[in-house]
């Protein structure tokens, strides 16, 4: 039987939180290209480092170190898009068969957030 990742699985919440936290950190460093995809790749490549950094970062809904207006706007749009996507996933009771499928869905859904 294959792996089922339901919309209410902790792995969905973990991945979306990682997108926000790592994405905010990447924005702060000025790394705006492929923000969602690169954030997820960083999360999957080194989850231990992410967990260590997460303890020092501000809450995912806060702006944290962002000061540039363009980065603040992008981050606010990303937070709104993630919230809307999570609601949509819950409403549709979306499931994924693997972490790769989940990541691809998140990237495709959030790719155009600016």
Q: What is the pLDDT of residues 39-63, one digit of tens each?
A: 999 999 999 999 898 988 999 999 9
C-beta of residue 24 within 8 angstroms of C-beta of residue 64 = yes
pTM of the full predicted structure?
0.93
- Residue 6 is inside which H or E element, if any? strand 5-6
Mean pLDDT score of the chain: 94
- Please tell me the predicted confidence (pLDDT) of residue 1: 47
- Please tell me the predicted confidence (pLDDT) of residue 101: 95
**Other beta carbons within 10 Å of 95:** 15
Lowest mean pLDDT among 47-56, 87-96, 105-114: 47-56
Q: Percent of the chain beyond pLDDT 90?
A: 86
Beta bridge partners of 96: 5
């Amino acid at each position: 039987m294959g792996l089922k990742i339901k919309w209410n699985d902790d792995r969905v919440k973990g991945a979306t939180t990682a997108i926000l936290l790592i994405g905010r950190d990447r924005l702060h460093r000025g790394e705006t290209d492929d923000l969602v995809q690169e954030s997820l790749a960083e999360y999957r490549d080194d989850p231990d480092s992410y967990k260590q950094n997460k303890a020092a970062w501000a809450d995912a809904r806060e702006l944290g170190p962002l000061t540039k207006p363009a980065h603040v706007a992008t981050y606010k749009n990303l937070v709104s898009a993630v919230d809307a996507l999570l609601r949509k996933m819950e409403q549709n009771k979306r499931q994924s068969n693997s972490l790769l499928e989940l990541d691809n869905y998140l990237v495709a859904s959030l790719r155009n957030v600016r």
